Structure 1
Amino acid sequence: MIGIDSIRIKTKGVVSTNTRNKMAEQQKVTTHRNPDESVYNTYKYRLGGPGDNRMPLLLYTQESGKIELSIPSLPYFIQGSCLTPIREADVPLFYQKISERLAEELDYAVEETIDNWIVPKMDIYHDFHVGNDVRNYLRALKEVSVPTYKTWNINNETVYWRNGSRDIKFYDKHVECIEARKTAMEIEQSEGVLRFEVQLKTSDIQSGVKDGAVTLGTLMSEEVTNNLLNKYLSKIDMNNLLITTEEEMRTTLAERYDSKRAHDIVSFIKAKQSGYGEVISRSTEHRYMTDLRRVGLAPVIAEKQLPPLAIAI
């Protein structure tokens, strides 16, 4: 699947007076003033009408020729559900659908093909189907600390790590669908789903592209999005690592190393989860984390053993 959730794409061009008038009929034109007292006008238009805020929003700044299209949920726009995965075979349909909607509703024919629009921001995601263990995973994940990130836990329904404007998070998708009053189909599809989601900035997106500009066409592939997802799953030391109880962790480590080393590593994990991890040196922490990865264990003690979270490449 292509793991893109929300995305913003942009280009430059000229929008006709007729199209601008249609945009102004739906939403009020916003006038902004620059520090030098010059003004610019922003036109907005929600495809399908203003009633569904999950549909794409088109923005046009007349003075600069800047055109932006914000798509709150790519799966919802293409498939009608935020839980139905996008496949590479769906990409041509998406390009066709977005172009047709712009033409039908606004008489706007894109000058630059959609796949060549630049991507300054997007959120990527992966849905783990874990059944009744969603809360067990979240209780375990809230104990994970990531260097330079601050950890937040919201009612054992959402756990996220924040660094500036970048968020890495896991959450109970079923709860989110119910609270957001999403469709009956989406609520049913979301049962037992643990969603992993990362908010990316331009520099983050660029790291997933080998050469050239970050265009929509270069990002609409399973390989690109899965590589980015695995990068951030590894950042929180959860990529394909078994989550275990204290006893299971101690036994596994003792079998691979020795009982003293097992005791030291388990004590280190317990100290981190109790908030006292800072008394351990950085080099010691690195060594313990490496030891855990070598035996395939996540750096967290849980109430029960939980299968690894893995995303196929």
Structure 2
Amino acid sequence: MFDTVQLRARFIDLDSHYLNQHNPKSFTSYNSSTGELRTTYKVYDELLPYITYYDGSHMLDVQVSIPKLLFGNNVQQVTETDIPVFFDRLQERLEQLFCVKIPHSSWTVIRCDVSWNFQVGNEVPKYVRLLSKQKFAFKSTITYNQDQTVEYRNKSSRIIFYDKEAQLTKMKEPDYIIEQSRGLLRLEIKPSTNDMKKFSPTRLAVELIGKPFFEYMTGKVLGEIEYPTEFDELDLSWLLENRVNIAQIERMLGFQRLQEMFDEQTLRKIYTSSTYANRKTEAKKMTIPRGNCLSPLTISQ
């Protein structure tokens, strides 16, 4: 349901004695208007890798992968019942590190990555090719490493689908982790601040890190995906009825087969810009009976 989150708690008093026990990277600045010295501490912890404390504003930021904290990897998915455990584990670890107990309700969300693993077997490349042809409103579509990653992004938010096994193999993760990721198409959504505020005006962590927000964000994304069907067997009677257009039918069959095999970025390298635009226009106008489409991506918990 969720992966990396960045949380913030205000009005937190951390004793510099406890901070300095963890070999922080610190930076001190002088505030000329107040005459105060303000220090920022950055602490690395094996369980909570990114901890930043601003002693001038008494503000604490923590960034952590929820599944990595709970399970040691982000292949195993977080479920609804794991979320209270996460908040408890976060509270316990900060108490161990800094002798401070922060209520769950004190946290607000700066970043909240929504995620899901779709088990699609050996069809991961097919789904990535399909998704590379999709358009999301107000977002640019970018593909990386053919048949492995497609991203939709703007300045404030991102949606990414990628081959989880390929990613972990490249990162040289342990074999048993790679094996668990086989056949997984990974979805990650990085909501904008506006997305979060629509759901929780104050961006409270206890409101955003939960099943309702997960369903809200994934529903918006999955609802926009279109599933064009693929050719199976052409009906002979339809071909006989349209035999005067057989040359156009042959051309469209070839073009649409290339669309199934390659992403748009690759096809634009093959065709001239005018020919590619003409083929796309022609494909939209011609209706050829088709079947055998990829199954829609759905979430079941």
What is the TM-score normalised by the length of structure 1? Answer: 0.72
Name the structure 2 match of 1:148: 138
Name the structure 2 match of 1:258: none
- How far did 1:38 drift? 7.3
Q: How do residues 27-106 of structure 1 correspond to structure 2 at under 5 angstroms?
A: 27-31=24-28, 40-48=38-46, 55-71=48-64, 73-104=65-96, 106=97
Change over 3 Å in CA distance of 1:150–1:14 after alignment to 2: same
Name the structure 1 match of 2:272: none
Q: How do residues 110-149 of structure 1 correspond to structure 2 at under 5 angstroms?
A: 110=101, 112-149=102-139
Name the structure 1 match of 2:242: none
Residue 9 (structure 2) pairs with residue 8 (structure 1): no
SS in 2 for 1:141: helix
Q: How do residues 200-279 of structure 1 correspond to structure 2 at under 5 angstroms?
A: 200-209=191-200, 213-234=202-223, 237-238=224-225, 242-245=227-230, 276=277
SS in 2 for 1:59: strand
What 5-or-longer segments of structure 1 have no aligned partner?
50-54, 255-262, 289-300
Change over 3 Å in CA distance of 1:31–1:183 after alignment to 2: farther
Name the structure 2 match of 1:180: 171
In 2, the alpha carbon distance for the partners of 1:109 and 1:14 equals 8
Once the two structures are superposed, residues 164-215 of structure 1 have per-residue CA deviations (whole angstroms, 9 ceiling, x without a partner) of 1321110001111112233433211110000111112321112234xx5221
Name the structure 1 match of 2:155: 164
CA contact (8 A) 1:208 1:228 kept: no
For residue 26 of structure 2, what is the amino acid of its counterpart?
A: V
- How far did 1:242 drift? 4.0
CA contact (8 A) 1:88 1:220 kept: no
SS in 2 for 1:101: helix
SS in 1 for 2:21: helix
- How far did 1:32 drift? 5.0
In 1, the alpha carbon distance for the partners of 2:94 and 2:172 equals 27
CA contact (8 A) 1:243 1:308 kept: no
Give the CA RMSD over aligned residues.
Answer: 3.5
SS in 2 for 1:244: coil
In 2, the alpha carbon distance for the partners of 1:158 and 1:32 equals 42
| Structure number with larger C-alpha Rg | 2
What 5-or-longer segments of structure 2 have no aligned partner?
239-248, 269-275
In 2, the alpha carbon distance for the partners of 1:123 and 1:30 equals 29
Change over 3 Å in CA distance of 1:20–1:97 after alignment to 2: same
SS in 1 for 2:173: coil
SS in 1 for 2:221: helix
In 1, the alpha carbon distance for the partners of 2:153 and 2:84 equals 35
Name the structure 1 match of 2:98: 107
CA contact (8 A) 2:14 2:100 kept: no
Change over 3 Å in CA distance of 1:79–1:115 after alignment to 2: farther
In 2, the alpha carbon distance for the partners of 1:207 and 1:79 equals 31
For residue 58 of structure 1, what is the amino acid of its counterpart?
A: I
Change over 3 Å in CA distance of 1:127–1:75 after alignment to 2: same
Residue 301 (structure 2) pairs with residue 309 (structure 1): no
Q: Percent identity?
A: 25
- How far did 1:60 drift? 0.1
- How far did 1:245 drift? 1.3
In 1, the alpha carbon distance for the partners of 2:30 and 2:52 equals 17
Residue 16 (structure 2) pairs with residue 17 (structure 1): yes
